[in-house]
Structure 1
Amino acid sequence: MLRSMYSGVSGMRGFQTKLDVIGNNIANVNTVGFKSGRVMFQDILSQTVSGASMAEADARGGKNAQQIGLGVTVASVDSLHTAGSAMTTNVPTDLRIDGDGFFAVRPAGMEDGFYLTRAGNFSVDAAGQLVTADGGLVLSSDGGIISLAGVNAYSIGKDGSIVGVNADGTTGDAIATIGVVQVQNPNGLEKMGANLYRSTVNSNLEELALGIPGDPETGSGTIVAGQLEMSNVDLTSEFTEMIVAQRGFQSNSRIITTSDEILQELVNLKR
């Protein structure tokens, strides 16, 4: 009887976690570059009541083991790194990666290294540097800071190259190339908030390296200027999963109340 109660408790905990993830997905439905999450369940170790027995020719048949499950637990909380929908803004510093890869940015206070992001809502600060909405520096393919100081006009190509545009409309000097980073296992990245990710031991076996957009050797995507990658949250799917999680939570709570009623009947046997 107690096994059913503990199984019900584990189910309620699991579906509560699922509701937490769904709530976060819906809250970020309009967050630029956001990747939705999902919860995967797995059963807990089962209790063996009786073991299996081997069949004997012309004597008896084999017998299967009898096992009782002990509930459910959360196996993983995955981030779905599928592409979000493209939104055209026509802002020159709004960038979208068409394909795989991440932008490399260095947040304020970080002296070395970089974080990753798919949010390309960049801007140019007073010093002429290409920065994120939080003031993080966007890095070039060689790991340097991208400076647009003194440029009257510029254009950004699919390969991430930033070139100046002369007053007569002709192409000017090359300024920099926006860097992109290819990640072997994006689901292994750690979320740092502010649309940023950090590499972990399970995202890449080797140290992350900056590359050029559209490089066929790395398979990184190309850059589309004037567009943003929006959240990949599908509200239809999220609300459907919310109903499933709600009913699952209610069903597991019913297991607990039913087990309690049966225990009460046992107590009432002795009056």
Structure 2
Amino acid sequence: MLRSFYSGVSGLKVNQAKLDVIGNNIANVGTTSFKSSRVRFKDMISQNVTESASPGTSLGGMNAKQVGLGVQISGIDTLVGQGTMQPTARDLDVAIDGEGYFVVAKGATTATASLVAGKLTGGSAGTEISYTRDGALIKDNLGNLVTSDGARVMGYALAGNVQSAAPQNASTSALVPLSIPDKITDLNGKVQNVTSFTIAKDGVISAVLADGSVSEVGQIAMATFSNPEGLKKTGDNLYQSTSNSGTAQVRSGIVNDEDKSSGYGDMLQKVLEMSNVDLSEQFTDMIIAERAFQASGKSITTGDEILQDLIGLKR
């Protein structure tokens, strides 16, 4: 049997996988904060026709003669580069300008995520912790801050402190679900309506009360990973940590009204991060993969024609 048959089949398989990845990238060109992927190939084992030989007294050295047996997928990488920032007019749209991720949880309403020396060690019983860069947030009818699919946004608890009061430090032991209440009791014991709110670059949510005073009601957490390309996509714009992504390192909360952390990026209110898919690059890769697929198929049909000619020689 001709070796070109097997090489051609392997070429069909890997280029089909590449077209699958390209198709997924193109389909998600409008997906908020989507990270595109790429496929890398590597050659398969080669068969030695003759071994190499070292120089001798009568002949010089000779290289080995090898026939390649095809191609295989070397890796499918997630490209975590930041997408373009698109301004919006919505208060609950938040983008991360940097390498950080939002921490979100599904499970009990009392869900918590434990922190040890800034590292996220897990969630409370029945809680599933995930990460996302999709900042199109929603406030439900109870005031909870959630994603479009209802996952609770996690952060640091800050008791409602009016600006003139002494600021409270963020908790260092756990993250909790955040909420933006409709009413807040001020320092004088008066219940006031929340008229608006802002989200600062450090993630602190400040509610503006009816009398113009400001109360900090929480701080959105931000996590980073030593290897973000190792995160596992789970759908719904969510990621989960893996053994190769490393443990989530959570940005420290405000301490005496000052953010002590750095290197995570800034949160931008009324902005959304768009997909990082480059359509011109994807179409170019698609043309190359399509031609490679056709060429691999042609090598199979050419091998078949050669076999037919060999059979014809017997007649």
Whether the TM-score (by the shorter chain) exceeds 0.5 is: yes
Q: Post-superposition shift, 1:148? A: 0.7
Q: What aligned pairs does 1:1-271 form with structure 2 within 5 A after superposition?
A: 2-56=2-56, 58-108=57-107, 111-141=126-156, 142-150=174-182, 151-170=194-213, 172-204=214-246, 207-212=247-252, 219-271=263-315
Q: If each structure's strand is expressed as a fraction of its own residues, which one has the higher value?
A: 2
How far apart are the structure 2 equivalents of 1:118 and 1:159?
A: 15
1:89 to partner: Cα distance = 0.7
Gaps of 5+ in 2: 112-125, 157-173, 183-193
Tell me the secondary structure at the aligned position of residue 52 of structure 1: coil
Q: Deviations over 1:46-99 (max 9, x none)?
A: 11111111113x532111111111100011111100111111112111110001
Q: Which amino acid aligns with 1:254?
A: K
Is there any run of 5+ residues in structure 1 with no aligned partner, and where?
none
Q: In structure 1, how many angstroms separate the alpha carbons of the residues matched to 2:8 and 2:285?
A: 19
Distance in 2, matches of 1:159 and 1:21, equals: 35
Are residues 213 and 225 of structure 1, via their aligned partners in 2, closer, same or farther at CA, if it must alter by over 3 Å?
Answer: farther
SS at match of 1:269: helix
8 Å CA contact 2:91–2:269 kept in 1: the answer is yes
The letter for the 2-side match of 1:64 is N
TM-score by length of 2: 0.81
Q: Distance in 2 between matches of 1:69 and 1:169?
A: 75
The 2-side partners of 1:3 and 1:108 are apart by 54
Write the distance in 1 (CA, Å) between the matches of 2:200 and 2:220. Answer: 10
- State the percentage of identical aligned residues: 45
Quote how far apart the aligned CAs of 1:45 are.
1.0
TM-score calculated relative to the size of structure 1: 0.93
**Contact 1:158-1:213 at 8 Å conserved across structures:** no
Secondary structure of residue in 2 paired with 1:126: coil
Contact 2:252–2:260 at 8 Å: present in 1 too? no
Distance in 2, Cα, partners of 1:218 & 1:55: 60
Residues 128 and 156 (structure 1 numbering): CA distance in 2 closer, same or farther, change over 3 Å? same
Matched to 1:28, the amino acid is N
Q: Secondary structure at the match of 2:288?
A: helix
Alignment-mate amino acid for residue 202 of structure 2: D
The alignment partner of 1:96 has SS state of: strand
Report if the CA contact (8 A) 1:128-1:149 is conserved. yes
**Structure 1 residue 162, shift from structure 2 partner:** 0.8
CA distance in 2, matches of 1:51, 1:268: 35
